[in-house]
Amino acid sequence: METDTGSQNTHRKPKAFDQKNWISENLNYKKDSGNWAWIFHRITGIALIAYLFLHIYSLSPLTEGEVAFNNKMATFSSPIYMAIEWFLFAFVIFHSLNGIRIVLVDWADGAKYHRHLYRLSWIVGIILFLAMGAIMFSHELKNLF
């Protein structure tokens, strides 16, 4: 049987996965855009489902009528909550744009241009994020200038 020698040996045996240090193994592998997209899609997805539960809970004062609901909403119109909502929008927009990217990869030959799509989703996402900030804080921005 012949053995691989020198320059022909392009396929190195992959390092075995170290189960005991699974956290560092997951943090340290070399990541391409698709790996990052997968990681961010998971993080934003978990955050969004958690927010959906929170959203139902925070709207529950609707059952108690006008005063209870308006009191609850008053807390959410403070600048801190508005900033949190702005970042919530960032999570929504990443998950949406990357979700569209996933659908294109699966159904529209997107595997050929998935890196461009990933970059595009960041560019579009950041533009939409800034636009949303301008809309949300238009009152504050007017006072500033």
Partner 1 sequence: MYKYRVSKNSGAGSWVVQRITGLALVVFMIGHYILMHYQPESGHTYEAVLARMQFSWYRIIDLSFLVLGMYHGLNGVWNIFRDYKMRPWARISVLSGIILFGLAFVAWGFVIIFSIPYLS
Tokens of 8: 């022909």
Q: Give the x/- contact pattern for partner 1 in 101-120, rule: CB under 8 A.
A: -xx--xx-------------
- Does 137 contact partner 1 by CB under 8 A? no
Find, among 89, 57, 88, the residue nearest to 72 by Cα: 57
Stretch that binds partner 1, among 8-16, 24-32, 98-106, 110-118 (CB under 8 A): 98-106
Neighbouring C-beta atoms of residue 81, cutoff 10 Å? 13
115-138 as b/e: b if 16+ CB within 10 A? eebbeebbeebeebbeebbeeebe
Query: Which residues sit at the interface with partner 1, rule CB under 8 A?
Result: 42, 45-46, 48-49, 52-53, 56, 59-60, 62-63, 65-66, 69-70, 73, 76-77, 89, 92, 96, 99-100, 102-103, 106-107, 135-136
